Amino acid sequence: MRSWILRKAPALRNNNGALQIRVRLEGKDHFINRLGSVDDPVAQAKAQSISAEIWSDFQQGQLDWSLSRYQPLVEGKNPELLDALERLMKEKRQARTTHAYRLVRRYGEPIRTQAEV
């Protein structure tokens, strides 16, 4: 079991008009972004729900300490794939990797396996 401490419930913040959740673990701030606009009531409700889920999981001893479980997915995109392709594109500087990155970014739908099609 980790010795990390979460002393109080995560707080909602206004980050230049964008809604953000701040989670303080062992005195260090961790942020959850891409939640929507501060003025959007749906985004506010979603952020409060995520904050409550983090606090509840901590109280029950089931907190995902990496906080990746609570990160919202970018709709229609696989952020891990996009990040990996972007790193590869910058590293290799080849036309085919740049094309693959742009194609996946523009596609806007989750990548499915052949069995799912």
pLDDT at 58 > cutoff 80:
yes
pLDDT for position 79: 61
Name the residue ranges covered by the structural domains of the chain: 11-70, 74-117
CA angle 71, 59, 80 (to 5 degrees): 15
The 10s digit of each residue's pLDDT in 3-53 is 458 888 899 999 999 999 999 988 889 999 888 889 988 889 999 999 999
C-alpha–C-alpha distance, residues 115 and 29, integer Å: 42
